[in-house]
Amino acid sequence: MNPDFWKNRSVFLTGHTGFKGSWMALWLQELGARVTGFSLPPNTSPALFEVADVAAGMTSVLGDIRDAEALAAAMAAARPEVVIHMAAQPLVRESYADPSGTYATNVMGTVNLLEAVRKTPGVRAVVVVTTDKVYLNREWHWAYREDSELGGEDPYSSSKAAAELAAHSYRVSFFHPAKHAEHGVALATARAGNVIGGGDWAKDRLVPDALNALKAGQPLVLRHPHATRPWQHVLEPVYGYLALAEALHHQGPSHAQSWNFGPYEFSDRSVGWIVDKLCELWGVAVPKQQDTGPIPHEAGYLKVDSSKARAVLGWAPKLDLDTTLRWIVDWTRVHHSGADARAETLAQIRRFMELPHWQPTSNG
């Protein structure tokens, strides 16, 4: 990724008030981009968007991506060259509580975004962010590649798989790589998951729940303490989305496809391991309890193969899992102390940018 590419570049970012979107918005600001965000107000309190004063360095438009006219008007006013679509209903459990709203946001919201791109001259690169959970999970222990079968049993996963299909249809029907000289738009999808980082207060997520329990000195209730996930810091996939958008702008048709962004296999750790490590870093131990209530189905082990992104985009993880968790604890302590959360977030972004790619050893 070339930081100079982003200076004064017009970028339209959906979902900028969310946890992941806020990190993206601040990184784009740090790079000197002219950022317009379109999103609902934050759905948590506190929220990274507010505590880090994300709106201070961008044009923030509050709106619903299900409102096609409002979305198209905001994009037309921004006149972007790069569009990054991150707005979503991102929670599995919430998708069971509101399946209709989940499909409306994740599927039709994506369609509305792509329709707005069709109506906006000057767009060159479009990155539609989905999730690693778009794959039909066969519960096997090898990684899924970009050409693996799509699926999803819960409403969240299937809605994101449907968003992938919609993006593919638009790429073939309206933004075909073979006709790039006519329309000028390169459209790609990006798949990542199990993202953790400072400033996440979403409901039913492991790290926020663990940190809340540590700060309060209360027991932590776990749904699946032995479940193993390939964890990664939020900056890892955001770095990937930026690298992909830049490649789409420069090289267009050859990169208009789907891309995985995931950690090395050495970041696979159990939920219980993550909690124990956070306790060690925080310096306080809390008892863990098994959730005995009804637990909706969630996919088991799922890992993506990111070798294409490493080989073609030059992207690779920069943080090992111990460092990732230490950064999260550091960020949380800063916020807990009442210090400047925006400054700490930008400091972690700058530190991340300066790091070389992580080269894991055989034992992690």
Q: What is the pLDDT of residues 282-291, one digit of tens each?
A: 998 877 777 6
**What is each CA distance from 265 to 97, 101, 172, 217, 300, in whole angstroms?**
33, 34, 33, 32, 16
Q: What whole-number distance in Å separates Cα of residue 49 and Cα of residue 23?
A: 9
Task: State both tokens at 101.
Answer: 């709203």
Q: What whole-number distance in Å separates Cα of residue 252 and Cα of residue 112?
A: 22
Is the omega angle on the peptide bond into residue 121 within 30 degrees of 0, that is, cis? no
204 compared with 311, residue with greater pLDDT:
311
Predicted local confidence at residue 350, as pLDDT = 98
Nearest to 264 by CA among 329, 221, 321: 321
350 compared with 141, residue with greater pLDDT:
350
pLDDT class of 133 with cuts at 50, 70, 90: very high
Average pLDDT over residues 251-268: 91
Task: State both tokens at 354.
Answer: 């300066």
Predicted local confidence at residue 165, as pLDDT = 98
In this prediction the pTM is 0.94
% pLDDT > 90, the chain: 77
Length of the chain (residues): 364
pLDDT of 138 > 90? The answer is: no
pLDDT of 299 > 70? The answer is: no
Pairing of the two strands 82-85 and 258-260: unpaired
272 compared with 24, residue with greater pLDDT:
24
Predicted local confidence at residue 234, as pLDDT = 98
Average pLDDT over residues 223-239: 88
According to DSSP, residue 8 is labeled T
| 8-354 fold | Rossmann fold (3.40.50)
- Is 100 exposed, middle or buried, given 0-12, 13-18 or 19+ CB atoms closer than 10 A? exposed
Q: What whole-number distance in Å separates Cα of residue 106 and Cα of residue 162?
A: 8
Average pLDDT over residues 338-343: 96
Q: What whole-number distance in Å separates Cα of residue 141 and Cα of residue 110?
A: 31
Task: Write down the domain spans for the chain.
Answer: 8-354
Tens-place pLDDT, residues 73-91? 999 999 999 999 999 998 8
Q: What whole-number distance in Å separates Cα of residue 39 and Cα of residue 71?
A: 9
- State the CB neighbour count (10 A cutoff) for residue 219: 11
